[in-house]
Structure 1
Amino acid sequence: MSLTDVMIRSLKAESRPYSRTDAGGLYLEVRPSGAKLWRFKYRFLGKANRIALGAYPEVRLAEARQLRDDARRKLRDGIDPLADRKRDKLVAQFKAANTFGDLAKEYIEKTVAEGRAEATTTKANWLLDQLKPIAGMPVADIKPIEILAALKRIEARGKHETARRARSFAGRVFRYAVATGRGEADPTAVLQGALIAPRVTHHAALLEPDAVGGLLRAIDSYPGNAITRLACQIAPHVMARPGELRQALWGEIDFDKAVWTVPLERMKMRRPHAVPLSRQVLAYLKTLYDLTGPEGFVFPAFHTSRRPMSENTMNQAFRRMGYAKGEVTAHGLRTTASTLLNESGKWQSDAIERSLAHADANMVRGIYNRGRYWDERVAMHQWWSDYLDELRAVEKNALPLEAA
């Protein structure tokens, strides 16, 4: 006799479990605690088995019968309902443990182990933070529209380049997920062209000798923090990226050999970089040594010697000197050096590119050139420092490059 809701409600708990049969293998088990549990018993490949279908009244009679019928259809198709449920549970657990955020962190850790520059790792973590809306979602379930929604939120703040970089970073994470068996495809691939193309901007830089001389005099007169002033004085000479300079350590400076060796971990191209130090730079560094040496950061932060100077410190100093954002930036000093050195006609372009730590497309040629141009680079750095001194000393009509 099939069960009814009235019959089920009338069932009382006893000292031992007992059951009441419905039909087609469905039955209700009544526990001494009063719990009423749906069960479906079946045979698969000659073996008896049973599967839980929930508790009454959360699962009503009609729903229990529907679940039983679903299980019977699986049996008809040669599928064990219990094994299928266990598989679904494992898949759910697998997905829950492989969210986009988890895989992104794992991917970033992999790049760190491969020797990726610290600045690149910091940027990757920052991009992950921009993608918070999808960070908690299973990577295998994320659809292109969900990624686009997260990117459009970034774009709505006017951060078009950030949105583009975030899409590229997300693509690398998804491809890593596919490569490690935890994803099926890269859903960012179909988003090509969906974002606003960022306008190409260049780091503001002074390209006229008169203007460079004025900047150098302004730096010398800077009334702020002495370490900041020295950083701004050194930066035009060494042609390093701001991040490489502000994170410099005293252990990287060799006063006897007049060279600063930047380890590959901090270099954009993941290659160690040697910077010849002119007499002027060595003098600045000796002044700094009395302030921040002999260990740790050459340019420590204001509030703690355990961290380097902030990435905005030098640019903020330029603003205080009266230079607008569109006139001078710390990174733009590299453009100044590149432009004026090339215009001088005195130095081979490969030597200039090596001092700027630009990568050579031909790796073998690049390795060869690093050694080949060292003597020329030493001479060039000293000439460049001497020329900057000349520009600083001339108020108007700066000394022509040829005369210098």
Structure 2
Amino acid sequence: MSLTDTAVKNVKPGDKTARLFDGGGLYLEVAPAGGKWWRLKYRYDGKEKRLSLGVYPDVSLKDARQRRSDARKLLADGVDPSENRKAVKAAKTERGANSFEVIAREWFAKNSATWSENHGSRIIRRLERDIFPWIGGRPIAEIKAQELLATLRRVEERGAVETAHRAHQNCGQVFRYAIATGRAERDPSPDLKGALPPVKQSHHAAITDPKAVGDLLRAMDGYQGAFVTKCALRLAPLVFVRPGELRRAEWTEIDFDKAEWNIPAARMKMREPHLVPLSTQAVEILRELHALTGDGRYVFPGARSNGRPMSDNAVLAALRRMGFAKDEMSGHGFRAMARTILDEVLGVRPDFIEHQLAHAVRDPNGRAYNRTAHLAERRKMMQLWADYLDKLKVGAEVIPLCA
């Protein structure tokens, strides 16, 4: 006789394990402790075997009968249900091990040691926020271009077009890593070329008019905020490095005898060491600051802890406090200021300027210049620039000079 829902629900445990049969090999096993398991008894290759179909009441009588039917179909096709279950479980485990998130984190771990801390943090945060929630659990070999595009569209739709493009680039790097390690056959990211709207080019706000530069320099000299921030403000136009490179400067990198600042590759955008010749004005600022922060690691330590560099917002906030608007001047603006005036007003050779900006500059034979290329000329340029800024600061007539 077949079982009923009422009989299954009301059966009480006894002193020994009891079995209630439903037919077709399906039965309910009731343990003395009260547990109820669905089992299927079947024969395969002449041997009697048993297959667990779940626990009651999580698996109802109806569900157990459906599982019995599925197992019987496998047997009819010559497949052992027990072995099939093992194979499915192994496949799921393998799929999980080869998911996009697992491989992306492996790729990140292998590459992040060569990146700056901030760069690495931005990449993993971007993946965790915008990619993993949607395709992180998917087997990487099964992800198609349309699925990747749908994920990137979520980023685009919140107005973060540049972030969408960067996420697209990172996903491509992960797919190529999966191909190299034998866990995917192709990278679908190139199929999305042109699918995302282009990023609107925006330039960092910068003051490049010499007269206005003089006003800015005088305002910075009169800055009433923290002394460390004031020194960073005064040094920024003299060295025109990127804001992150400036605020993370360490005293071990400063050579007062040679008047040089040697920035290691790990902190540079181009991952190449960079040498900044220091003008006499820059050395004077650094010596003055050394008396205050020279015992610590950072030239510009944070306001709350000497063990960390100043906030990446410190210089920007100081500019705003002095009345320079967001669309007027930025931390990056000191680089554009130097590039424009050195070229258009002072007539310095563009390759000297670009090299000092730590841009990718190559010689006529296509070889990348090293950190000491044209060092003598760059020393002269940096001193020329510092002297010119002094003239602007005192309001002297702006007269083009020769490099």
**Interval containing the TM-score (normalised by the shorter chain):** 0.7 to 0.9
Give the aligned CA root-mean-square deviation in angstroms.
3.2
Deviation, structure 1 residue 119? 3.1
**Structure 1 residues 56, 207: CA separation in 2 closer, same or farther (over 3 Å shift)?**
closer
Contact 2:345–2:400 (Cα < 8 Å) also in 1: no
Deviates more, 1:327-336 or 1:71-80: 71-80
Indicate the residue corresponding to 1:125 in structure 2.
124
For residues 139-164 of structure 1, the C-alpha deviation after alignment (integer angstroms, 9 at most, x for no partner) is 32877777666655544543332233
For residues 199-227 of structure 1, the C-alpha deviation after alignment (integer angstroms, 9 at most, x for no partner) is 11001112222222221111111111111
Deviates more, 1:63-72 or 1:14-23: 14-23
Deviation, structure 1 residue 358? 0.8
Contact 1:99–1:135 (Cα < 8 Å) also in 2: no
User: What amino acid is the match of 2:19?
Assistant: S
Q: Are 1:214 and 2:215 an aligned pair?
A: yes
Indicate the residue corresponding to 1:280 in structure 2.
281
Contact 2:360–2:368 (Cα < 8 Å) also in 1: no
Q: Are 1:107 and 2:104 an aligned pair?
A: no
Indicate the residue corresponding to 1:168 in structure 2.
169
For residues 366-386 of structure 1, the C-alpha deviation after alignment (integer angstroms, 9 at most, x for no partner) is 444544312221221111111
Matches within 5 A, 1:5-404: 5=5, 8=8, 11-93=11-93, 103-113=103-113, 115-131=114-130, 134=133, 137-140=136-139, 151-152=152-153, 154-177=155-178, 179-180=180-181, 191-344=192-345, 346-360=347-361, 365-394=366-395, 397-402=397-402
**Structure 1 residues 109, 5: CA separation in 2 closer, same or farther (over 3 Å shift)?**
closer
Separation in structure 1 between the aligned mates of residue 362 and residue 57 of structure 2, nearest angstrom: 70
TM-score (norm 2): 0.86
Deviates more, 1:261-270 or 1:67-76: 67-76
Contact 2:255–2:261 (Cα < 8 Å) also in 1: yes
Separation in structure 2 between the aligned mates of residue 338 and residue 9 of structure 1, nearest angstrom: 83
Separation in structure 2 between the aligned mates of residue 267 and residue 252 of structure 1, nearest angstrom: 13
Deviates more, 1:252-261 or 1:146-155: 146-155
Deviation, structure 1 residue 266? 0.5
**Structure 1 residues 112, 10: CA separation in 2 closer, same or farther (over 3 Å shift)?**
closer
Separation in structure 1 between the aligned mates of residue 271 and residue 120 of structure 2, nearest angstrom: 12
Contact 1:144–1:190 (Cα < 8 Å) also in 2: yes
For residues 25-81 of structure 1, the C-alpha deviation after alignment (integer angstroms, 9 at most, x for no partner) is 323322222333211123444544321112344433333222112112223334332
Contact 2:155–2:161 (Cα < 8 Å) also in 1: yes
Separation in structure 2 between the aligned mates of residue 51 and residue 240 of structure 1, nearest angstrom: 69
Separation in structure 2 between the aligned mates of residue 350 and residue 79 of structure 1, nearest angstrom: 72
For structure 2, which runs of at least 5 residues remain unmatched after alignment? none
Deviation, structure 1 residue 309? 1.1
TM-score (norm 1): 0.86
Separation in structure 1 between the aligned mates of residue 340 and residue 217 of structure 2, nearest angstrom: 17
Contact 1:134–1:150 (Cα < 8 Å) also in 2: no
**Structure 1 residues 261, 365: CA separation in 2 closer, same or farther (over 3 Å shift)?**
farther
Separation in structure 2 between the aligned mates of residue 206 and residue 6 of structure 1, nearest angstrom: 84
Matched residues, number: 401
Deviates more, 1:212-221 or 1:170-179: 170-179
Q: Is the partner of 2:23 in helix, strand or coil?
A: coil
User: What amino acid is the match of 1:72?
Assistant: R
Separation in structure 2 between the aligned mates of residue 289 and residue 365 of structure 1, nearest angstrom: 41
**Structure 1 residues 99, 229: CA separation in 2 closer, same or farther (over 3 Å shift)?**
farther
Contact 2:351–2:361 (Cα < 8 Å) also in 1: no
Deviation, structure 1 residue 109? 2.4
Q: Is the partner of 2:201 in helix, strand or coil?
A: coil
Deviates more, 1:116-125 or 1:290-299: 116-125
Separation in structure 1 between the aligned mates of residue 158 and residue 2 of structure 2, nearest angstrom: 63
Separation in structure 1 between the aligned mates of residue 213 and residue 48 of structure 2, nearest angstrom: 88
Separation in structure 1 between the aligned mates of residue 257 and residue 88 of structure 2, nearest angstrom: 67
Contact 1:216–1:392 (Cα < 8 Å) also in 2: yes
Separation in structure 1 between the aligned mates of residue 24 and residue 157 of structure 2, nearest angstrom: 58
Separation in structure 1 between the aligned mates of residue 185 and residue 137 of structure 2, nearest angstrom: 12
Contact 1:300–1:306 (Cα < 8 Å) also in 2: yes
Separation in structure 2 between the aligned mates of residue 362 and residue 178 of structure 1, nearest angstrom: 36
For residues 317-362 of structure 1, the C-alpha deviation after alignment (integer angstroms, 9 at most, x for no partner) is 1112221111111111111111222225654332222111112468
Deviates more, 1:376-385 or 1:139-148: 139-148
Separation in structure 2 between the aligned mates of residue 362 and residue 75 of structure 1, nearest angstrom: 73
Contact 1:101–1:135 (Cα < 8 Å) also in 2: no
